[in-house]
Amino acid sequence: EAQVTQNPRYLITVTGKKLTVTCSQNMNHEYMSWYRQDPGLGLRQIYYSMNVEVTDKGDVPEGYKVSRKEKRNFPLILESPSPNQTSLYFCASSQGLGDNEQFFGPGTRLTVL
């Protein structure tokens, strides 16, 4: 089944404790991205990747890192999480940008205390 998977689905952590949210897709898609969603603010893009070893900042990249060492994986790294990074995070993949259909993962709900 074609899908995007994220882990963990739920995470509660404390300020400053490094964490990684994994994202994997099995559709051989070139393009992957991370979004965060907060009440009243809609979906905002954090980082995106056009292909292996190619990443770029989205609209809200501060406090996040990503890597794309393999085509299927695109982990999101929070080196020193803070409470304002409490949010619902989505990973997405598609064959390309623009008019290509985006496939989203199930989401990761992160709480930073």
Partner 1 sequence: LAKTTQPISMDSYEGQEVNITCSHNNIATNDYITWYQQFPSQGPRFIIQGYKTKVTNEVASLFIPADRKSSTLSLPRVSLSDTAVYYCLVAEAGDKIIFGKGTRLHILP
Name the residues that contact partner 1, by CB under 8 A.
4, 33, 35, 40-43, 45, 88, 90, 92, 96-107, 109
Nearer to partner 1, 62 or 99 (CB): 99
Closest approach, Cβ 11 to partner 1, in A, equals 14
d(CA 66, CA 110): 17
Write the CA distances from 106 to 5, 23, 70, 94, integer angstroms. Answer: 7, 10, 21, 15
Closest approach, Cβ 16 to partner 1, in A, equals 27
Nearer to partner 1, 69 or 99 (CB): 99
Nearer to partner 1, 16 or 96 (CB): 96
- Rama region for 107: left / alpha / beta (φ>0; ψ in -120 to 50; rest): left
Spell out the alpha helix ranges (H) of 6-111: none
